[in-house]
């Protein structure tokens, strides 16, 4: 049983079934893994855990691609990584910054609200 070939076939079927480009599928997959991790683990998106799970999922995806194609396809691999991680990373950074700003005490005479 060739797991990498089965996985590649499944991914190909998803692409054909949805009509979406591979790059867009990576964007959606990254966000789906991020949100599923949030729901399943209960960790907030401002903690590193959901982002690390997305990174691990993308690593597994690229390793299976590498096994299936018998070589690294660096142009494709690097674009896949960027497309998968960009929005989860932006959410993580934005929410981290917001959390840090929310913790700062208001400056006297310049209180919000």
Q: How confident is the model at residue 20 (pLDDT cuts 50, 70, 90)?
A: confident
Q: Give the domain ranges of the chain.
A: 3-98
Res 54: pLDDT: 99
Res 22: pLDDT: 86
Q: What does the alpha-carbon distance between residue 84 and residue 32 come to, in Å, rounded to a whole number?
A: 10
Q: How confident is the model at residue 106 (pLDDT cuts 50, 70, 90)?
A: low
**Which residue is listed with tokens 């960009």?**
86
Q: What does the alpha-carbon distance between residue 49 and residue 109 come to, in Å, rounded to a whole number?
A: 38
CB atoms within 10 A of CB 64: 17
Angle CA 100–108–92, to nearest 5: 10
Res 94: pLDDT: 98
Model confidence, pTM: 0.84
Q: What is the pLDDT of residues 43-94, one digit of tens each?
A: 999 999 999 999 999 999 999 999 988 888 999 999 999 999 999 999 999 9
pLDDT of residue 103 exceeding 70: yes
Contacts of 27 (CB under 8 A, 6+ apart): 83, 84, 86, 87
pLDDT of residue 111 exceeding 70: no
**Which residue is listed with tokens 């997305």?**
54
């Amino acid at each position: 049983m060739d797991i990498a070939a089965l996985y590649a076939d499944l991914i190909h079927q998803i692409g054909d079934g949805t009509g979406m480009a591979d790059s867009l599928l990576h964007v959606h997959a990254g966000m789906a893994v991020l949100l599923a991790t949030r729901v399943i683990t209960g960790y907030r998106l401002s903690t590193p855990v959901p982002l690390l799970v997305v990174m691990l999922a993308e690593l597994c995806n690229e390793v299976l691609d590498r096994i299936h194609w018998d070589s690294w396809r660096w142009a494709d691999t690097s674009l896949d990584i960027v497309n998968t991680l960009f929005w989860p990373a932006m959410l993580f950074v934005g929410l981290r910054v917001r959390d840090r700003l929310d913790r700062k005490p208001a400056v006297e005479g310049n209180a919000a609200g």
